[in-house]
């Protein structure tokens, strides 16, 4: 953490880092294929559009007509083949169906083994999120202790700020845990 001169700066920086950790965790969860169709599965895939890497969602409409299908309808029909190639080259693990106008992705049902593997993976992602939050807490507390040692703040202010940082930590970890519980339930129900 860069040199922060006030308690307010420290708390703002810690809060920002914790929010980023929780949001990163949520994005990771969205990108995991669970057996249910979600447009988030293809958002990160880049298509070679006239020699420019372009996100799929910028090339056409992406929708989920039902719980097991993702439908990609490019506005420029000449790019359908490139969309298909980009999906095949991605680590999505789904073979696209191309009818010349749209690309369909049929999400296969999950096996019990794959469900257990996904649950282990989401728990690992959640733990990484918790570690990021705790690292932000640790660095924030260290910054507060430096301010106290430099006589910039009193011992009471230092202790109060550390308690505030702990409250932020608890709230952020709760956010990670809620996202984890939601994703686990989604994996188990399908």
Supply the CATH number for residue 46's domain.
Answer: 3.30.1360.40
Please list, residue by residue across 115-138, b when 16 or more beta carbons sit within 10 angstroms of its beta carbon and e when fewer do: beebeeebeebbeebbebbeebbe
pTM for the model stands at 0.70
Cβ contact 158:148 at 8 Å? yes
The CATH number covering residue 142 comes to 1.10.132.20
Structural domain including 116 reads 7-31+111-189
Q: What is the pLDDT of residue 28?
A: 86
Q: What is the pLDDT of residue 186?
A: 83
Q: What is the pLDDT of residue 3?
A: 52
2 in a structural domain? no
Q: What is the pLDDT of residue 4?
A: 59
pLDDT tens digits for 131-164? 999 999 999 999 999 998 988 889 999 999 999 9
* CA 128 – CA 25 distance, rounded (Å): 8
Residue that finishes a domain, picked among 106, 127, 148: 106
Q: What is the pLDDT of residue 33?
A: 65
CA distances from 54 to 23, 49, 155 (A): 23, 6, 53
Is the per-residue pLDDT at 32 higher than 90? no
């Amino acid at each position: 953490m860069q040199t922060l001169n006030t308690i307010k700066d420290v708390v703002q920086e810690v809060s920002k880092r914790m929010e980023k950790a929780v949001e990163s965790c949520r994005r990771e969860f969205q990108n995991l294929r669970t057996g249910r169709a979600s447009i988030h599965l293809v958002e990160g895939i880049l298509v070679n559009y006239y020699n420019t890497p372009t996100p799929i969602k910028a090339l056409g409409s992406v929708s989920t007509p039902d719980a097991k299908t993702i439908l990609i309808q490019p506005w420029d029909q000449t790019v359908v083949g490139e969309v298909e190639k980009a999906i095949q080259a991605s680590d999505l693990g789904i073979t696209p169906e191309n009818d010349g106008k749209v690309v369909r992705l049929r999400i296969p049902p999950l096996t019990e083994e794959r469900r257990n593997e996904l649950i282990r993976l989401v728990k690992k992602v959640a733990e990484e999120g918790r570690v990021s939050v705790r690292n932000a807490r640790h660095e924030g507390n260290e910054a507060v202790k430096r301010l106290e040692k430099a006589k910039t703040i009193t011992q009471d202010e230092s202790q109060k700020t550390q308690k505030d940082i702990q409250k932020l930590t608890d709230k952020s970890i709760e956010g990670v845990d809620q996202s984890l519980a939601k994703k686990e339930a989604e994996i188990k129900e399908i």
